[in-house]
Structure 1
Amino acid sequence: MNTLLTIDERNAVLLSMAKLVEEERESILKANKIDLDNYSGEDLAMEDRLKVDNSKIEGMVHSLKHLASQDDPVGVERFSFTHENGMQVYNKTASFGTVMIIYESRPDVTVEAAGIAFKSGNKILLKGGKESLNSNLRIVELWHRALEENNVSPNWVEYLQFDRKQTQEFLASPNQQVDLVVPRGGERLIKFVKDNSSAQVIVSGRGNNFVFVEKNADTDIALDVILNGKTGKISACNAIDKVLIDSALPNKEEFLKQLQKALSDNNVEIIADKSLENVEGSRPVKSEDEWYEEFLDYKALIGEVDSVSEAIAKINKYSGGHSASIISRDDKAAKKFMETVDNAAVYHNASTRFTDGGQLGLGGELAISTDKLHQRGPIGLQHLVTNKWYIHGNGQTR
């Protein structure tokens, strides 16, 4: 295991990296253009994640500077007591050691997720997708410059240029220490990593998020939340795919017309469950599989339920365990929904697009976990640590 860098060393590297990303903006954009030109364009969501523009560069720089300003997450005392025999007992946060991040098409992960893992005192192994290779290699060159500028070994950030078979072999039997693996991508990637990794895996799971328009909903809020969740960013794991409408919604037919028009105006394909098959321009659900599917596309499936309990049951059956929102003026119904829906983030009268480390006050995220251990939802700087017991005695035996 690497000797832990001091907090001053880690912060200095992050600030150097922020400066280099800003200075080398054009070379990053140029490398990314090669990746974009090489990409087939067959997957809209992947292309969206692959593209780096000035706004994404600014996000990278902001993220690095913000990380450098945050407190050290390592060595934080969580618990202490004096044993009856006089020993002093402490529990403190500790770095994992080496974190491997496997990801698809997102060059910003090479900056932001790596930055969070580095600030948390970890060595970083990066394995990006072939579609973003030029962008990733350019950014890793900048990491190595930032490390060397501060007299820190470039080995703290390593890029693994492996094909699928090499990746599979490395996961199963790594030739160096790997303490934690974080897959960032679709279900196929996550399954591949879980099936092959000999190290602990944090699952950054699928979205397939739901909005439930309860009978006491403000339908203007419902329309805004659904449109924002569906069309704001189709490649995001916090996007909306499913809309459940309470059969007792007083103005249901009028709301459905407004929703149909708003979605159609934004080129969203509407899939209607059997009770709503009269929605204009919609097509029926092909099979139950579509209820489970994360679309990452301009598609929305609309269904009808007769109660809050039925909505909860449907979400708990089909969703990815990520995010769900209830639109309602009834606080009691909202409380029941929020306490019973088994998702990492639950919303009342707000968009699921806020399930994001930056938006939820963490300053950024390594991933959004749909696992329940060791952290659920956005994994920020303070969560990317394990813990360690420190016991001080003067000869005590048991």
Structure 2
Amino acid sequence: MSNVSAEQIAQRAAKAARAVANLTTDEKNQVLQRMADAIRADKDLILAENKKDLEAGHEKGLDESMMDRLELNDERIEGMATALEELIALPDPVGESYLLEERPNGMRIDKMRIPLGVICMIYEARPNVTADAGALCFKSGNAVILRCGREALGSSKVIAAAMHKALRDSGLPEDVITVVPTPDRQLMADLLQQSDYIDLVIPRGGEGLIHYVSDNSKIPVIQHYKGVCHLYVDKDADLDKALALLLNGKTQRTGVCNALEGLLVHSAVADKFFPMAAKALAEKNVKVHACNNSIKYFDGAEAIADSDFGEEYLALEIAVREVRDFDHAIEHIQEFSSGHTDVICTENEATAKRFIQIVDSAVTMWNTSSRFSDGGQLGLGAEIGISTSKLHAYGPMGLQSLTTEKFVVTGTGQIRE
């Protein structure tokens, strides 16, 4: 396939999509189990190839967050296999229908969920996306084209090869899950022109990649530029609870889009909470960028201007701001949030409901960690991405987001006068 053109890749995927769309739920679930088993069976091969990718990444000087995304281990490989098995247990959205209306002339109008067709995923150093995206697209009746970055290409090819075994054993074409064999940028550019065969493009990676795909695609694009997530500690917060949310959101895993990048603290509790936060963040070696009112609480903090918030650090760094009141916190989030995930910590239900209603992010949370802003954690199974654009999906994208609805009209011979 090394010399195959973008048009050929897209044509083959479109043909394979028709084969998947005709499968029953039981048939798809059987294939998914075979995929999970094959990934487990090929664990040593996957780890060996991933080691090569990691060594190449070290030589290239990839930053810590990208290396974290690139690295696989026993636990993460088992996590990929388990995510596929979790999809088996989830309802199949394909074929779901509901009554929209019964017309006065006796016609029945239903809407039915159907697959999108062919989805093209473009991603960087995330080999787990190969399994997640392949399985999600398959369960939702789609074919997928996976264009992986150079950093993770070796790992992704081996993961896809395991999934191809399951497809072959099930009598299905390998083109149901295609890994583009080269990171050649021109081939990616050509794929973005294949609107006759590809129905949706989902890029996952840095802002540069997202902008390139959005600017050059003839195909609809799901966008997720960055994850600038905030924790707002309200005047009515349980401060021990707030500290736990802060530490989990910032330090449990830093190189991911649902990690906290901003901390906002109501002035009424600043004197109590900031010293707690300063001690805990220092113990975790978190670098703090603090506003003029909060910098006095943090040894070694860097001052940050009011206009410089909104950075996605993807590291042990966080921006901190004391806010006058609830409305000031909302103003900050509206200006600097990326629309990914924002959290309020408060024991005041009315305040929490106002926050949830006003904050226009894809995921808003009350008294829980931003790290739960993830398809698997929210009950969707593995996610194919998190959309911060509103069409046609918003937030973590699971099975239902990979389908669309068609009208089904049933009559008894009615004709239009």
> TM-score interval w.r.t. the shorter chain?
over 0.9
How far 1:288 sits from its partner (Å)? 2.6
TM-score, with length taken from structure 1: 0.95
The partner residue of 2:271 within 250, 253, 278 is: 253
Question: Secondary structure at 2:37's aligned position in 1?
Answer: helix
CA separation in 2, counterparts of 1:338 and 1:181?
A: 30
Partner amino acid for 2:131? V
The answer to whether the Cα contact below 8 Å between 2:274 and 2:294 also exists between their aligned partners in 1 is no
Partner amino acid for 1:281? G
The partner residue of 2:334 within 316, 319, 326 is: 316
- Any idea what the Cα deviations from partners look like across 1:91-110, whole Å, max 9, x if unmatched? 10010000111111111110
How far 1:318 sits from its partner (Å)? 0.4
How far 1:52 sits from its partner (Å)? 0.6
- Any idea what the Cα deviations from partners look like across 1:10-51, whole Å, max 9, x if unmatched? 222211111100111110011100000110343111111100
The partner residue of 1:83 within 89, 103, 108 is: 103
The answer to whether the Cα contact below 8 Å between 2:117 and 2:141 also exists between their aligned partners in 1 is yes
The alignment status of 1:108 with 2:128, answered yes or no, reads yes
- What is residue 178 of structure 2 aligned with on the other side? 158
- What is residue 3 of structure 2 aligned with on the other side? none
CA separation in 2, counterparts of 1:287 and 1:134?
A: 43
CA separation in 2, counterparts of 1:326 and 1:206?
A: 20
CA separation in 1, counterparts of 2:209 and 2:313?
A: 16
Q: Report 1:53-64 matches (<5 A).
A: 53-64=73-84
Of 341-350 and 114-123, the range deviating more from structure 2:
341-350
Question: Secondary structure at 1:42's aligned position in 2?
Answer: coil
Partner amino acid for 1:75? G
- Any idea what the Cα deviations from partners look like across 1:274-333, whole Å, max 9, x if unmatched? 2223232101116734x1211101101111111101101110110110111112222222
The partner residue of 2:67 within 31, 47, 72 is: 47
**Unpaired segments ≥5 residues, structure 2:** 1-13
The alignment status of 1:133 with 2:150, answered yes or no, reads no
Of 116-125 and 254-263, the range deviating more from structure 2:
254-263
The partner residue of 1:282 within 301, 304, 308 is: 301
Of 31-40 and 372-381, the range deviating more from structure 2:
372-381
- What is residue 168 of structure 1 aligned with on the other side? 189
Partner amino acid for 2:191? F
The alignment status of 1:187 with 2:187, answered yes or no, reads no
Question: Secondary structure at 2:268's aligned position in 1?
Answer: coil
- Any idea what the Cα deviations from partners look like across 1:171-210, whole Å, max 9, x if unmatched? 1x22861001111122222111111111111123411111
CA separation in 2, counterparts of 1:224 and 1:175?
A: 47
How far 1:257 sits from its partner (Å)? 2.0
- What is residue 24 of structure 1 aligned with on the other side? 42
- What is residue 212 of structure 1 aligned with on the other side? 232
Q: RMSD of the TM alignment (CA)? A: 1.7
Distance 1:277 1:82, change over 3 A: closer
The alignment status of 1:342 with 2:360, answered yes or no, reads yes
Distance 1:79 1:254, change over 3 A: same
The alignment status of 1:331 with 2:349, answered yes or no, reads yes
- What is residue 415 of structure 2 aligned with on the other side? 397
The answer to whether the Cα contact below 8 Å between 1:205 and 1:322 also exists between their aligned partners in 2 is no
**Unpaired segments ≥5 residues, structure 1:** none
The answer to whether the Cα contact below 8 Å between 1:78 and 1:93 also exists between their aligned partners in 2 is no
Partner amino acid for 1:304? E
Question: Secondary structure at 1:386's aligned position in 2?
Answer: strand
Of 207-216 and 67-76, the range deviating more from structure 2:
67-76
- What is residue 7 of structure 2 aligned with on the other side? none
How far 1:368 sits from its partner (Å)? 1.3
Partner amino acid for 2:389? D
How far 1:364 sits from its partner (Å)? 2.3
Partner amino acid for 2:322? E
Question: Secondary structure at 2:319's aligned position in 1?
Answer: strand
